[in-house]
Amino acid sequence: MEQKQLNGANINSKVARGHLQPDEDTDTLESILQHVGEMGRYQILLFLSMAPFAFVYCCVYFLQMFITTTPQRHWCKVPQLQHLDMELRRNLTAPLTPDGWDRCSMYDANWTHVLIHLTVPPDTNIVPCKYGWEFELGDIPYQTIVSERGWVCEHASNIPLAQSIFFVGSLFGGIFFGWMADRYGRVPAIVGSNIMAMAGGIGTIYTSGLWDFIICRFLVGTSFDSCFMIIYILVLEYIGTSHRSLIANTSLALYYGGASVVLPWIAIWISDWRKLLWYTNLPILLVVIVPFTIPESARWLSSRGQTIKAVKVMRRFEKVNGTKIPEDILNRFIMSSNQPRNTDESLITVFRSAPLRKMVIILMLAFTFSELNIGQDV
């Protein structure tokens, strides 16, 4: 007890002389990690906990491709011919072009006459599809939103429009959940962003038109990046500097890369776009247990003056890792956390600084164009 009081008195005297600056809690936290273990049992558990969030991140980004993919073999639908064989229906309905069967036009024929003679008169006019489209489910072995709602030909722009709104949602979501993480903590932002992904994903199942579909994709878009990147950063805060680069790259390669490989096979195995959304979104509800399993950022807690909670987190690391933090290091962290902070870390401050403003704008443009290129390749 006397040693603790002595350490506290020494720290108080350094604060009074101005030797302990408010930002020293960051360096002190790194010192704590060196003593509590830079990659102990608790850090390994946190590393493993990133896996389901990486899968959600992958689904948020790629799932729309599997529910809105367009079967390449489609042609105009004619109700009077539905009892005929599929190949015969297509031959009688779709005009032949140098590139194959016309997918967006049909003969304007007397179909009673066509049924009698099983041929289309050569002078028959060609018009756009009147009764919708038929799809041959060969390259895509299940019905998608596109094939069910006929979003092809003159309606083919519906999907790119929805995808664009998705990225508009990611812009708003990135700002909102970033603010939420700074204001209320990393854990509430993790829960909120993943719940938003689930709400938009399940809501998509019950859409029937274009605009309700777009609204749901906007909701899903608000969770893009935040649903994984917040816990990604949170976990890296607790990884020692000597292991941080390895964990940062391994988590993306192993979890995000693995999910990207597995997701297409899941889509083919389920072969139903509604069930695919159910099976990939409903498990996200388990995110409600995150506040009881994932520790809040000790750095954020200390920056908000919640020193007691930050110390509890460090004690939990001690218990799981079987290590001990020296009292002088812990006291130093406590005292630095209790110092007033006069720095403004808001988004407005970033744009007030010319170098930071320039860097943010360049990063936004670079990321936007990279996503557009990926979208075109897809």
Can you give the pLDDT at residue 38? 85
This prediction has a pTM of: 0.81
| Residue 37 to residue 32: CA distance in whole angstroms | 8
pLDDT at 319 over 50: yes
Euclidean distance between the first and final Cα of the chain, in Å?
Answer: 65
Across the range 194-209, mean pLDDT stands at 95
Quote the pLDDT of residue 242: 87
- Is 373 or 234 the better-scoring residue by pLDDT? 234
What average pLDDT score do residues 162-188 get? 92
Between 374 and 261, the higher pLDDT residue? 261
Report how far residue 334's alpha carbon sits from residue 140's, in angstroms, rounded to the nearest whole number.
59
What does residue 79 show for φ and ψ, rounded to 5 degrees?
A: -55, -35
Closest to 34 (Cα-Cα) out of 239, 226, 206, 260: 239
Give, in order, the Cα–Cα distances in Å from 100 to each of 44, 132, 329.
56, 19, 75
Residue 31 has pLDDT above 70, yes or no: yes
Q: Where, residue-wise, is CATH 1.20.1250.20 in the chain?
A: 21-70+160-343
Each residue's pLDDT tens digit, 126-164: 899 889 999 988 888 899 999 999 999 999 999 999 999
Residue 98 has pLDDT above 50, yes or no: yes
Long-range contacts of 292-296 (CB under 8 A, 24+ apart): 293/49, 294/46, 294/49, 294/187, 294/190, 294/231, 294/234, 295/238, 296/185, 296/186, 296/187
Whether the per-residue pLDDT at 194 is higher than 70: the answer is: yes
CB 214, CB 162: distance < 8 Å? yes
Supply the pLDDT for residue 219.
96
Mean pLDDT, range 355-371, rounded to an integer: 74
Q: Mean pLDDT over residues 243-256, rounded?
A: 92
Q: What is the DSSP string of 209-268?
A: SHHHHHHHHHHHHHTTTHHHHHHHHHHHHTS-HHHHHHHHHHHIIIIIHHHHHHHHHHHH
Specify the pLDDT at position 90. Answer: 87
Q: Does domain 21-70+160-343 have CATH number 1.20.1270.360?
A: no
Give yes or no for residue 343 having a pLDDT over 60: no
pLDDT at 366: 76
Pick the range with the lowest mean pLDDT from 39-43, 122-126, 265-269.
122-126
Residue 41 pLDDT class (50, 70, 90 cuts): very high
- For position 339, what pLDDT does the model report? 66
Most confident of 28-32, 97-101, 293-297, 353-357: 293-297
With 0-12 / 13-18 / 19 or more C-beta atoms within 10 angstroms meaning exposed / middle / buried, residue 294 is buried
Q: What is the pLDDT of residue 346?
A: 58
pLDDT of residue 199: 96
What per-residue confidence (pLDDT) applies to 26? 57
Q: How many CB atoms lie within 10 A of CB 225?
A: 20
Mean pLDDT to the nearest integer, 336-346: 61
Confidence of residue 240 (pLDDT cuts 50, 70, 90): confident
44-81 pLDDT, tens digit each: 999 999 999 999 999 999 999 999 999 888 888 988 88
Q: Which of the two residues, 109 and 369, has the higher pLDDT score?
A: 109
* Whole-number pLDDT of residue 374: 52
Which carries the bigger pLDDT value, residue 365 or residue 150?
A: 150
Report percent pLDDT > 70 for the chain: 86
Residue whose C-alpha is closest to residue 357's, from 370, 347, 345, 367: 347
* Between residues 232 and 348, the one the model is more confident about: 232
Distance CA 291, CA 63 (A): 27
Summarised one tens digit per residue, pLDDT across range 2-27 is 444 434 434 343 333 334 444 445 56
